[in-house]
Amino acid sequence: MHMADALLSPAVGGAMCAVSAAANAYAVKKIKKDDLCEKKIPVMGVMGAFVFAAQMINFTIPATGSSGHIGGGILLAAMIGGFPALLSISAVLIIQCLFFADGGLLALGCNIFNMGVIPCLIVCPLVFKPLLKNGRQWGRIAAASILAVVVSLQLGAFGVVLETRLSGITALPFGTFLFLMQPIHLAIGVAEGIITAAVLCFVYKIRPEIMESTFDGAAIQNGVPMRNVLIVLAVVTLLVGGALSLFASSYPDGLEWAVGKTAGVEELEADGAVFKGAASLQEATALMPDYDFKDAGEDGSGIGTTVAGMVGGVLTFVLAGAAAFGISTFKKKRKGASPA
Amino acid sequence: MKDKIRQLYALEQLSGGHSFVHKLHPAVKLLTAAVFIITVVSFDRYAFGRLIPYVFYPALLMALSETPYSMLLKRFLFTLPFCLFAGISNIFFDRASAFAIGGVTVSYGVVSFFVIVFRVYLCVMAVLLLVSVTPFAEITASMRRLGIPAVFVVLFEMTYRYIGVLFEEAYSMVTAYSLRSGGASGIGMKDMGSFVGQLLLRSFDRADRVYSAMKCRGYALRVFPRGRGKLERRDWIFGSVTCLLCIAFRIIDANALFAGIFRGIA
């Protein structure tokens, strides 16, 4: 589910980065208010590392022969609370981005939102917790975790589709993309939900106090108006998206896409049909590319320009390769010449 | 499984080098990588030719920092599948023909497919190179300097360090499981709850012990002044030249210029 830089436009990536940064900053503020803040940090760090380790354990899905691993958003939120869980997941995603190239630097905002903000700040307080308010029996924990994981994966997958579509890099139609992503993530969600349920039931049986404390005692959880958080996030998205698209449109040589995309964002929230219109309009304009293969060159032949462009491209690659090769050979030689 | 953890810390070993690139200020490296990625991503989906000049950045940086090419390439291949999926769908959905060469018509979908793959290559390389030439302590030091709250930076450091530790824990549990189950390769679905739950409880207990140990050694949530402060001349030169080139290639179609010169000669 990690999105890559290459499929994002700067406006969408930038806006989502701002949203996720705001959500994280809010979480930090909430945690700092807690008396146990200092003690919570090692727990959060180790739990983040736990998610990493747990993702490496493959389980075999019975009767299919395939295997999967857990994602961990809901699991962490249930164990240590929504805000600390968001910070842990963000740390994990940054490490995955930097050290495994899983998702990109610009795409971090999207990834943190889809896999962190959605399960920890939206699904956990709105779906998971209400279900467990009146008693925490085995069946209730199981049902709540399966439902919460499925909902957060569906929302996350929808986020991926929406963000990719708004960026306009892939030509995949919105509906097709949606029909590919949602069922796949429904299957993944059910499997992950069952595992999450099993883990939480086990932990609750052996050490009930861990979950009890995140539900009842924790000062962090009390009096957090979820509505305010969501409003702030929405405002930040609109502001940053708007600012970025204004900035983009002031370029003369056409970052036209950004305007189209951001117009798409606003339309979407207003009306689905308008969005469809905007999307098709944007599709039509995108078919007139900057890179004009058919354009006739000064000497009159379009093919000539194309071939020249290709040869130019190949030469650039060769030049870059040669420069890199030259530098490394030079470095090796110098090392060989002066044995330190 | 062992491979993955070796991968994680291999990059850190590379970052201990002494080349020109390693010595640059971390903030400058971060800024240039960000400018590079944003300019690369800002091209439209058919602009293959415009992207080509950007290949100089990873090529030269890799050569200057003596980073082994094969290692980074392997990671790039791991990240490819999802993007390939998005790219291949372009081939199917975007069939308008872009140009013909030797009787073979090439559609816009094919062009945009190559643009996506090339873009992934450039962005992934930029991030991996950034990490492979910057020691972890310097990354977190510049995070602090950028004003990211100490709570988050400490959390980030701890997560990174404890991945190795918890991984060992998980690895020994998996080994024990497979020895007792006649060499099963994965954990059975019905055992997954107690298995992961057990790992989780162990992690929790370990976190407690870690906290006590840290407290004994005088840990408090303070901001430690660490890492280098001032920018040197080489930082200014590298940063400004790279950023200006990135932006210049965004504005000027260098490939077309180059092609024009080539046509002029031919």
**pLDDT, tens digit, for every residue of B71-96?**
888 878 877 777 777 777 777 777 77
Interchain CB distance below 8 Å, A169 and B109: no
B196 to chain A: which residues are within 8 Å by CB?
A: 54, 57, 70, 195, 198-199
Distances (CA, A) of A133 to A77, A228, B168: 15, 22, 37
* Same-domain pairing of B61 and B184: no
At residue A147, the pLDDT reads 92
Total number of domains in chain A:
2
Coil, helix or strand at residue B104: strand
Same domain, A42 and A124: yes
- Domain range for residue B173? 149-216
In a domain, B163, yes or no: yes
Same domain, A216 and A316: no
Query: Is B200 found in the same domain as B236?
Result: no
First-to-final CA distance of chain B: 55
Report the gap between the CA of B238 and the closest CA in chain A (Å). Answer: 17
The 10 Å CB-count burial string (b at 16+, else e) for B122-134 is: bbbbbbbbbbbbb
Q: Which of A49, A297, A305 sits opposite B163 (nearest CB)?
A: A49
β-sheet with B187-188: strand ranges across:
A67-68, A59-60, B187-188
Q: Does residue A243 form part of some domain?
A: no
Residue of B32 and B82 predicted with greater confidence: B32
Q: Is residue B142 a part of any domain in this protein?
A: no
Shared-domain flag, residues B37 and B104: yes
Distance in Å, alpha carbon of A20 to nearest chain B alpha carbon: 13
User: Hey, is B99 helix, strand or coil?
Assistant: strand
Question: With an 8 Å Cβ cutoff, are B89 and A327 in contact?
Answer: no
Q: What is the DSSP letter of A121?
A: I
**Domain assignment of residue A271, yes or no:** no
pLDDT tens track of chain A, all 340 residues? 778 787 788 888 889 999 999 999 888 888 877 766 677 788 888 888 888 777 777 666 555 555 555 667 888 888 888 888 999 999 988 888 888 777 788 888 999 999 899 999 988 888 888 888 777 788 888 899 999 999 998 998 888 888 888 887 777 778 888 887 888 888 888 888 888 888 888 888 888 877 777 776 544 444 445 566 666 666 666 666 666 555 544 443 333 333 344 444 433 333 444 444 444 444 443 333 333 344 433 444 455 556 666 666 677 777 777 777 787 777 777 777 665 4
Q: Is residue B168 situated within a structural domain?
A: yes
Nearest residue in chain B measured CA to CA from A285: B44
Domain identity same for B207 and B235: no
Q: For chain B, what percentages of helix, strand and coil (3-state, to nearest 5) are there?
A: 75, 5, 20
Is residue B222 in some structural domain? Answer: no
**Nearest residue to B149 (alpha-carbon basis) of A225, A241, A47, A37:** A37
pLDDT on residue A298:
42
A147 and A12 in a single domain? The answer is: yes
- Report if residue B190 sits inside a domain: yes
- Specify the number of domains making up chain B: 2
Of A10, A87, A198, the CB nearest to B152: A87
Concatenating the DSSP letter of every residue in B82-136 gives HHHHHHHHHHHH---EEEEETTEEEEHHHHHHHHHHHHHHHHHHHHHHHHHTS-H
SS3 A59: strand
Same domain, B22 and B120: yes
Residue that terminates a domain, selected from A207, A222, A237: A222
- Residue A205 counted as domain residue: yes
CATH number at residue A199: 1.10.1760.20
CB atoms within 10 A of CB A47: 33
Chain A contact probe: residue of B22, B143, B189, B209 with most A CBs at under 10 A? B189
Show the domain range for A18.
Answer: 5-222
Distance CA A305, CA A301 (A): 7
Q: Does residue A162 sit within a domain?
A: yes
Q: Do A45 and B162 touch (CB under 8 A)?
A: yes
Could you tell me how many CB contacts below 8 A there are between chain A and chain B? 355
- The nearest CA of chain A is from the CA of B232 a distance in Å of 23
A chain contacts of residue B116, beta-carbon cutoff 8 Å: 6-7, 169-170
Nearest to A261 by CA among A170, A177, A179: A170
What residues are paired with A47 via a beta bridge?
none
Same-domain check for residues B182 and B66: no
**For residue A60, with 0-12 CB atoms within 10 Å meaning exposed, 13-18 middle and 19 or more buried, which class applies?**
middle
